[in-house]
Amino acid sequence: MDDSDAPIECRSLLVIGGARSGKSRYALALAEAAAAERVFVATAAAGDAEMAARLAEHRAARGAGWRTIEEPLALAATLRAEAREGRIVLVDCVTLWLSNLLIAGRDLAREIADLAEAVGDLAGPAILVSNEVGAGIVPASALGRTFRDWQGRANQALAQRCDAATLVVAGLPRLIKPAPRPALRLR
């Protein structure tokens, strides 16, 4: 094993990637390997039958080793209340949380800042899963562009506060923070 394969210790991790990239599966595996006491914070709301079926499928796939909290809005407060030594908290996902806030007319800048502050000061380890939405086409609607912009801001704020960040593409995780800093040659 070389230094690039050596695991890094971190207290907070942002796992980011596109839809169906494997980021949730990766985050679940990390959490299951890290602690016997696990809390899953689900930010999705079952707005229709199809979404309710998805949520039930995800809950069943997690198994009995998880305690699930459904919290679509008060994510920072939930993290502060649940994170503690010996327990890992997994949030899936920041993207749905942000969508819920946007629909509820909340102050997104304040909510993102509060979540980022909470992540930096938790009493125990946490993994946050979020979608990378800025790598695709520009959304056609103003609402879509607003959401994409706020999601980018949220991801940047969380990446700054988390100890580590991993990008998952096609099921393959790549550590992006901490990362070596390039040294440019001037000649």
Q: Which amino acid is at 131?
A: N
Residue 6 bears catalytic tag: no
Helix (H) or strand (E) holding 153, with range, is helix 142-161
What residues are paired with 168 via a beta bridge? 17, 173
The span from the CA of 121 to the CA of 119, in Å, is 6
Give the strands of the sheet with 164-169, arranged side by side. Answer: 66-70, 37-42, 87-92, 126-131, 12-17, 164-169, 172-177
> Are residues 55 and 111 in contact, defined by beta-carbon separation less than 8 angstroms?
no
DSSP state of 19: T
Q: Which of 34, 37, 45, 58 is catalytic?
A: 58
Query: How far is the C-alpha of 154 from the C-alpha of 160, rounded, in Å?
Result: 10
Query: Which of left, alpha, beta for 175 (phi over 0: left; psi -120 to 50: alpha)?
Result: beta
Enumerate the active-site residues. Answer: 58
